């Protein structure tokens, strides 16, 4: 008997039956496409959770974005562009701390209500200062449960050779991924390093020095959880904030929203509970690293609360103006 083919069943003349068949075919095609797209999204989500690569996808794939989800519940695209759909996070740097009593310091920071604690790793090569290695970070873990963040201000050789140790030292008390930040200027093969951090169980993130354009990180936004915009040149605490970084923050936030990525923007350098944090927040940042700007308060809790309050005001539209001397 003759094998039937879909083309054999199609009417030969154009009429009511033909139009009806075309409508049914279009509806079936749309449904099938939706199912395929839904299946692909599920596959990407599954692959991300299991650290498997999906051909043609960006795993790190912050492509299933919280930005996109928030737009449906908390506001418009303008809200996402400002970063006001994202939680404020206060992240103290331990540079101003008493290094001989670092365990007590991280315990005090946890009691103050901070969101993460940052360890600034410097090798005396990439930056003109020398701090500490993974052993110090690991030793601090037993004193608190607050998530850690390690910024590797080190040469490419140091970051690649010791990357596993830093990722391990930065993990949470139960092995949760800690934030490990590498500088774009110190990595010839940035994708490789970021993917290795993810594979080792860390949260890959990237930092840019003040002179580095935003363009340098746009091709890795799908591989990172955070982008850190340096608002001073790294190496020493207590430096003056560089206000011209605001345009860079806006450009990166726009690229994150355009790509639909779930990525936080951090700023580090000269951040205080004044116009500096306010304007960075208004530009699209939501994570704020403060060293002397927090430790200068009578108590760490006062410093943390002050920083958070100014940032939340900025998200609500109450943005502090920069002094006239800065804009002059």
Catalytic residues: 120, 268
Yes or no: say if 152 and 137 are a contact pair by the CB < 8 Å rule: no
Yes or no: say if 149 and 172 are a contact pair by the CB < 8 Å rule: no
Convert the chain into a string of H (helix), E (strand) and C (coil): CCCCCHHHHCCCCCCHHHHHHHHHHHHHHHHHHHHHHHHHHHHHHHHHHCCCCCCCCCCCCCCCCHHHHHHHHHCCHHHHHHCCCCCCEEEEECCCCCHHHHHHHHHHHHHHCCCCEEEEEEECCCCCCECCCHHHHHHHHHHCCCCEEEEEECCHHHHHHHHHHHHHHHCCCCCCCCEEEEEHHHCCCHHHHHHHHHHCCCEEEEEECCCCCHHHHHHHHHHCCEEEEECCCCCCCCCCCCHHHHHHHHHHHHHHHHHCCCCEEEEECCCCCCHHHHHHHHHCCCEEEECHHHHCCCCHHHHHHHHHHHHHHHHCCCCCCCCHHHHC
Distance of CA 270 to the CA centre of its chain: 20
Cβ-Cβ contacts under 8 Å for 257 (sequence gap 6 or more): 67, 77, 80, 81
Q: CA 285, CA 266: separation in Å to the nearest integer?
A: 6
């Amino acid at each position: 008997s003759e094998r039937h083919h879909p083309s054999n069943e199609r009417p030969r003349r154009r009429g009511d039956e033909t139009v009806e068949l075309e409508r049914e075919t279009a509806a079936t095609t749309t449904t099938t496409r939706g199912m395929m797209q839904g299946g692909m999204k599920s596959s990407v989500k599954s692959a991300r959770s299991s650290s498997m690569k999906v051909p043609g996808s960006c795993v790190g794939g912050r492509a299933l974005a919280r930005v996109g989800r928030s737009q449906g519940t908390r506001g418009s695209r303008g809200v996402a562009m400002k970063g006001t759909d994202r939680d404020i996070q206060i992240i103290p740097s331990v540079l101003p701390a008493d290094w001989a009593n670092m365990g007590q310091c991280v315990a005090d920071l946890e009691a103050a209500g901070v969101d993460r604690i940052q360890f600034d790793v410097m090798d005396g090569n990439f930056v003109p200062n020398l701090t500490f290695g993974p052993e110090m970070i690991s030793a601090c873990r037993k004193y608190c449960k607050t998530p850690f963040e390690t910024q590797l201000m080190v040469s490419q050789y140091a970051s690649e050779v010791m990357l596993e140790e830093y990722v391990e030292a930065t993990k949470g008390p139960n092995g949760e991924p800690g934030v490990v930040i590498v500088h774009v200027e110190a990595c010839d093969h940035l994708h490789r390093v970021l993917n290795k951090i993810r594979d080792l169980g860390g949260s890959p993130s990237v930092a840019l020095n003040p002179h580095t354009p935003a363009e340098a990180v746009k091709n890795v936004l799908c591989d990172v959880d955070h982008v850190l915009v340096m608002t001073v040149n790294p190496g020493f605490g207590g430096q003056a904030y560089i206000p011209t970084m605001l345009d860079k923050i806006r450009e990166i936030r726009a690229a994150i929203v355009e790509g639909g990525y779930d990525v936080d923007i951090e700023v580090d350098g000269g951040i205080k509970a004044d116009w500096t944090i306010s304007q960075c927040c208004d530009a699209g940042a939501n994570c704020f690293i403060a060293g002397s700007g927090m430790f200068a308060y009578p108590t760490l809790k006062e410093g943390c609360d002050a920083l958070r309050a100014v940032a939340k005001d900025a998200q609500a539209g109450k943005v502090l103006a920069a002094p006239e001397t800065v804009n002059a």
